[in-house]
DNA sequence: TGCTAAGCTGACGTTCACGTAAGGAAGCAT
DNA sequence: ATGCTTCCTTACGTGAACGTCAGCTTAGCA
């Protein structure tokens, strides 16, 4: 439901304008859209969190697509929710990276064997993420229970006083 | 259920040995018990996260009780689970601080008005923590749902291939 | 009383995740 | 061609959260 990186369906010819989905953006726009800064985007590229478009020559402006925006959103989200270091994140985000790779290859290849392999990889990465997230969820739930219990006790005492 | 800072019941006389609950510990032991280091403990004291026993004179060894160990555990727990800065933590932990204060005053005073006030404060702080924790819980749940959905799709594709 | 382990107080070093400033070049419109 | 804006690279700065080292004192024990 949230923007998690479905770069829409790309099906049409190669010359269709298609104003929105495959618009080319520059760093400032990406930063604005993701609530970050150009510096942050470059930093993420520097440490390997963002692809860094291998085609670009030194000095040229960086180009981004909606998929990149989605990825940055994911990064920020995971970073905040899980409180991970960017190092740990880049481990986790192999999933995203692989996923992008897969989307490309999946459409490029006809070999069902290869497709199967790619999908299995993707599944593995997602499973990793899920494990981590679910762990956090149960720990947080425990914390919530503890806090609720404490609140209950305090209110119980208040009632005793009131009576 | 977890160690959240119930420094056991202290009721008996003042000279009972009571080997365990009120044992005096030093910084190294606290560090070991909480998976931190002496430096970290001192740092937490420095920035006001730990009380710093106002009675101690410069140069003397720091003394800790089980309650302090519990508090450090809480700090670490909140820090990791919520990914908060120590600054934010010290805000949140007003609750703990107040709670310790309250425990002391609650037993010291007979004034039900004052007791009521203290309990209300405590309740407020806990409510704050709960709000934060529940917010995280729902966000994490959303993330979990997203990931599950993705996993489902990938597996669906795999089935299509297999068929 | 003397020893040793552990602790104490500075004070400087370090890693992460960027912020910020300088000087120059790319992109786009006119 | 000329601006103007945005971006580029390089490099140094910064705050948080400790690590680490030096030199000295305290606590507990024989």
The ipTM, to two decimals, is: 0.81
Average pLDDT, chain A: 84
Residue A162 sits in the same domain as residue A109: yes
- Put simply, the answer to whether B141 touches A137 (Cβ < 8 Å) is yes
Query: Which nucleotide is closest to A76, CA to C1'?
Result: C17
**CATH code where residue A60 lies:** 1.10.1660.10
pLDDT at B63: 96
Please report whether residue A141 resides in a domain: yes
Residue B140 forms contact with A (CB below 8 Å): yes
Final residue before a domain boundary, out of A62, A85, A108: A85
pLDDT at B16: 37
Report d(CA B72, CA B51) in Å as an integer: 11
Residue by residue, DSSP assigns A69-111 as HHHHHHHHHHHHHH---HHHHHHHTHHHHHHHHHHHHHHH---
Residue A135 has pLDDT above 90, yes or no: yes
Residue A122 has pLDDT above 90, yes or no: no
Residue from B7, B99, B100, B140 to probe the interface with A (highest A Cβ count within 10 Å): B140
- Whether the CB-CB separation of A97 and A89 falls below 8 Å is answered with no
pLDDT at B32: 98
pLDDT at B135: 94
Q: Which residues of B touch A162 (CB under 8 A)?
A: 116
* Contacts (Cβ under 8 Å, ≥6 apart) of A56: A62, A63
Please report whether residue B28 resides in a domain: yes
Regions in chain B scoring below 70 on pLDDT: 1-21
Residue A3 has pLDDT above 80, yes or no: no
- Put simply, the answer to whether A112 touches B137 (Cβ < 8 Å) is no
| Total Cβ atoms within 10 A of residue B23 | 12
Final residue before a domain boundary, out of A85, A101, A130: A85
Residue A99 sits in the same domain as residue A37: no
Check whether residue B38 has its CB closer than 7 Å to nucleic acid strand C.
yes
pLDDT at A20: 60
Please report whether residue A15 resides in a domain: no
Cα of B150 vs its chain's centroid, Å: 35
Please report whether residue A9 resides in a domain: no
Query: Which nucleotide is closest to B84, CA to C1'?
Result: D16
Which residues of chain A (49-68) touch nucleic strand D at CB < 7 A?
58-62
Residue A134 forms contact with B (CB below 8 Å): yes
Query: Which nucleotide is closest to A32, CA to C1'?
Result: D6
Cα of A161 vs its chain's centroid, Å: 50
Nearest CA in chain B to A83: B83
pLDDT at B20: 59
Residue A78 sits in the same domain as residue A41: yes
| Total Cβ atoms within 10 A of residue B84 | 18
Please report whether residue B67 resides in a domain: yes
Instruction: Output the CA angle B29-B33-B37, nearest 5 degrees.
Output: 70
Please report whether residue B76 resides in a domain: yes
Above pLDDT 70, what percent of chain A?
87
Please report whether residue B107 resides in a domain: no
Interface of B with A in 61-100 (CB under 8 A): 77-78, 80-84
pLDDT digits over A38-92, tens only?
A: 999 999 999 999 988 788 999 999 999 999 999 999 999 999 999 999 999 988 8
Q: How far is the CA of B37 from the C1' of C3 (A)?
A: 26
Residue A142 has pLDDT above 70, yes or no: yes
- Put simply, the answer to whether B155 touches A123 (Cβ < 8 Å) is yes
- Which has the higher per-residue pLDDT, A12 or A149? A149
Report d(CA B132, CA B138) in Å as an integer: 10
Instruction: Determine the distance in angstroms separating the CA of B85 from the nearest CA of chain A, rounded to an integer.
Output: 10
Label residue A97 by pLDDT band (50, 70, 90): confident
Residue A14 has pLDDT above 70, yes or no: no
Question: In chain B, how many domains are there?
Answer: 1
pLDDT at A79: 94
Residue A100 has pLDDT above 50, yes or no: yes
Q: Which helix (H) or strand (E) holds B85?
A: none
Domain that holds residue B31: 19-91
Residue A155 has pLDDT above 80, yes or no: yes
- Put simply, the answer to whether B2 touches A142 (Cβ < 8 Å) is yes
- Find the radius of gyration of the CA atoms of chain A: 22
Residue A99 sits in the same domain as residue A127: yes
Please report whether residue A162 resides in a domain: yes
| Total Cβ atoms within 10 A of residue A110 | 7
Residue A44 sits in the same domain as residue A72: yes
Residue A53 sits in the same domain as residue A117: no
Residue with tokens 């993707």: A122
Nearest CA in chain B to A132: B144
- Put simply, the answer to whether B1 touches A112 (Cβ < 8 Å) is no
Phi/psi of residue B41, nearest 5 degrees: -60, -45
pLDDT at A8: 36
Q: What is the average pLDDT across A140-152? A: 95
Final residue before a domain boundary, out of A85, A102, A135: A85
- Put simply, the answer to whether A80 touches B81 (Cβ < 8 Å) is no
- Put simply, the answer to whether A134 touches B144 (Cβ < 8 Å) is yes
Residue A98 sits in the same domain as residue A117: yes
- Contact positions of strand D to protein Cβ (< 7 A): 6-9, 16-20, 25-27
């Amino acid at each position: 439901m949230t923007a998690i990186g479905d770069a829409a369906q790309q099906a049409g010819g190669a010359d269709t304008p298609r104003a929105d989905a495959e618009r080319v953006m520059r760093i400032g726009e990406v930063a604005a859209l993701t609530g970050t800064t150009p510096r942050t985007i470059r930093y993420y590229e520097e440490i390997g969190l963002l692809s860094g478009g291998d085609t670009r020559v030194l000095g040229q402006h960086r180009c981004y697509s909606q998929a990149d925006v989605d990825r940055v959103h994911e990064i920020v989200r995971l970073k905040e929710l899980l409180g991970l270091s960017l190092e740990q994140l880049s481990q986790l985000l192999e999933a995203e990276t692989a996923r992008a790779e897969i989307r490309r290859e999946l459409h490029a290849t006809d070999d069902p064997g290869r497709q199967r392999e790619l999908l299995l990889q993707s599944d593995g990465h997602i499973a990793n993420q899920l494990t981590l997230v679910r762990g956090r969820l149960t720990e947080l739930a425990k914390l919530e229970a503890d806090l609720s219990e404490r609140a209950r006790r305090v209110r119980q005492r208040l009632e005793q006083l009131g009576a």
